[in-house]
Structure 1
Amino acid sequence: MSHTAHIPSHRKPRRNAPKTALRAGVAGGVLSTIAVAGAAGPAQAEPVTQTIEMPTITAGLSTAVAASAQATQQVAQDLQTQAQEDAAAATAAKTAKKAKAEAVRKAEAKKKAEAAAKAKAEAAERASRTAARTTLSATSGSTAVASASSSSSSSSATGSAASVIAFAQAQVGDAYVSGGTGPNSWDCSGLVQAAFRSVGVDLPRVSQAQSTAGTQVSLSNLQPGDILYWGGAGSAYHVGIYVGGGQFVGAQNSSTGVVQRPLSYDPPSGAVRVL
């Protein structure tokens, strides 16, 4: 028998160590090691190790990264769209401004052209009237004027005719104003109307009507106080008063005013007798 047979053993009784699991998770698939120790056999506990691969957590990160990238791309697209819209608006504004300026220029050019055309038409009308006046004077007045001058050079006005002539001659030197009816400025028919009104005869206001206000008489048979007209009877454009001696008084134009002139100065087309 061994001398140690009755000596209690100092060896610790066998025991089963509980299995302990240690876990640690790290994003990105970091591995964690869990050590498990336990007693195995009568001699001593032998450590047992086991390696466990923990699941990675990249799925959520991938989704977040994808969402962030999509959001960034959307912002970039929105900025690009806004930039394009701003550029388009600026271009449209510039085009509109240019179009407006062009429209204004064309309107001004049209206005100037219309004014020039109107002025040209007025000049042509004046020239036409002058030509017609000259033609009428040359064709219908020359012979009659010569005859009237010789036949009435020694005649003298009496009664109402003398008063009409005196009124007309008193206005010689006054200004000619279109539409003028006195007392210091006249147009041709205004002077004739006022002269006859001084003896109680009320004549129409305009030349056309005055040229048919009485009895038509020949230019070779004129009497003092007859109304002379230039143009056609009923369409006359000028009137005056025959004062005898081959002379007439009339408000001619803005350059001469009211004058007394020989019939040869501006031969009339016809005459009408009112008195």
Structure 2
Amino acid sequence: MSHTAQITSHRKPRRSTPRVSIRAGVAGGVLSTIAVAGAAAPANAEPVTETIEMPTLTAGLAGDFARSAEATQQVANTLDLRAQQDAAAATAAKTAKTAQAEAERKAEAKRKSEEARKKAAEAAERASRAAERTTLSNASSDSGSGSSSSSSSSASDTASKATSQATGSAAAVLAFAQAQVGDAYILGSTGPNAWDCSSLVQASFRQIGVDLPRVSQDQSVAGTQVSLDNLQPGDILYWGSAGSAYHTAIYIGGGEFIGAQNPSKGVIQASLDYDPPTGAVRVL
């Protein structure tokens, strides 16, 4: 046996061989085959001049990488489109919710307005019946036309006295309200020749730049609550409870008020005893 003879290795081969090693082995085998073939050729044979083009070993890996990158980009595009769709859906849902809330608010405001008008109409009807009963009672107790004329003159004198006692803004409010005495009462009217109770109050205070709410229940809480024992000319009287009043008028002093009373009476000036109010607010 030769001293240079190869000794078989007892090491176990690796279980997995990298692809590059395999390809290297294949390339080596090809080269070995070519070398053996060349050695076995006759001595006088012409040398082999044909060029063999070896395949590029990394072409497959480049293709895999390209396909992987393309797939990754497609996934990214899909996720971006989905995110845009989700954002658009969220915006649409928010807009729809806002629109629904606004519609509900308007519906509630309309309902309250209708309810207020209904209460005002009912209050006007009750006031009308009360006024008729008061008129019949007064007619039975009056002794004649002379007495009525005296009472009317007394009321006029009281109104003039109250107006003269009012000063500044209150005087301007009362002057406008007194100028409307005798006008018609029509529910929902805002002048100039017909009013309902709250529109007359609103228009009177508008003369001095005070913008009051349109309906009685809101006017009843538009200022500071005051006692009926501490009234001043220009105070707003209300009937019903604060925040849900069904009728308003203006106190002119001397125990009297001016207001658009009801369809049968129109705008009148009368004593608090004629129709006692529930409360009052002061805005001046």
Q: Could you state the TM-score of these two structures normalised by the residue count of structure 1?
A: 0.44
In proportion to residue count, which structure has more helix? 2
User: Highest CA radius of gyration, 1 or 2?
Assistant: 1
In proportion to residue count, which structure has more strand? 1
